[in-house]
Amino acid sequence: MQRVHPFLRIEGMPMFRILSGLLAVLLLGGAFAEPAGAQIPAGVEGSYEPHPEARKAVSRLLSPYCPGFMLEVCPSSEAQALRDAIHAGALQGQSADELVEWMLADYGEEYRAVPRSRGSGLFAWILPPMALFMGVLGVVMALRRFRPEEEDPLTAGNGADSSGSPDDVVDPDTEARLREALRELELSEDPL
């Protein structure tokens, strides 16, 4: 006969009944459970829509409970409680700015996701567009500098170079001597 651990023995079934009862409670509880995000806060009738000021405030904050996440997407229960507290403040008539300042007073300035538009936060709004403009300007200037110079069609046919200075023009006597020297060179290379 096979030996069964006395704790899980089926003959007397003390532990088996406890485990099966616990499993039944877990299955029934899981079947009728409602997710925490789907519950409607107390005092709110009908379908739940977050207050616009609360939504605006939450979208401007980083989560103190989920590093690197915005407060509006942090899945922790503490973040949900903080969102509920911000929503309750909005229902009491506080503006989004007041709600943001309230949260930052409790948790610290490092959780501000959107920089202020005054003071030192103004640099965060001004410097990136300025850097982008300066970069584009630098690229344009570099391309202009490295672009090959085109020959001026007015000076191309008269023997002058592209600078067009009168000192660079060859006088007719020198030009005649150069042509004669070239002709002699060609005749010496290819005698007929």
- Examine the pLDDT at 14 and tell me if it is beyond 70: no
Whole-Å CA distances, 39 to 49, 56, 84, 138, 158: 11, 21, 11, 56, 89
Q: pLDDT tens across 148-192, in order?
A: 777 655 555 555 455 555 556 788 999 999 999 998 888 887 655
23 and 50 co-located in one domain: no
108 and 121 co-located in one domain: no
- Whole-angstrom distance, CA of residue 132 vs CA of residue 124: 13
Task: Return mean pLDDT, the chain.
Answer: 78
Give the domain range for residue 123. 116-144
The answer to whether position 10 is within a domain reads yes
Neighbours of 55 (CB within 10 A): 16
Q: Is there a contact between 77 and 36 (Cβ–Cβ < 8 Å)? A: yes
pLDDT of residue 119: 73
Mean pLDDT in residue range 34-46? 56
* Of 160 and 91, more confident: 91
Mean pLDDT in residue range 72-93? 90
Q: What is the per-residue DSSP string for 78-119?
A: HHHHHHHHHHHHHHTT--HHHHHHHHHHHH-GGGBSS--SSG
The answer to whether position 180 is within a domain reads no
Confidence class for position 145, pLDDT limits 50, 70, 90: confident
Residue type, 170: V
pTM, two decimal places: 0.45
3-state secondary structure of 154: helix
Mean pLDDT in residue range 70-83? 90
Answer left, alpha or beta for residue 170, where phi above 0 means left and psi between -120 and 50 means alpha. beta
pLDDT of residue 50: 78
Output the CA torsion sign for 129, 135, 138, 142. Answer: negative
Residue type, 99: L
Mean pLDDT in residue range 106-114? 86
The domain tally of the chain equals 3
The answer to whether position 191 is within a domain reads no
137 and 91 co-located in one domain: no
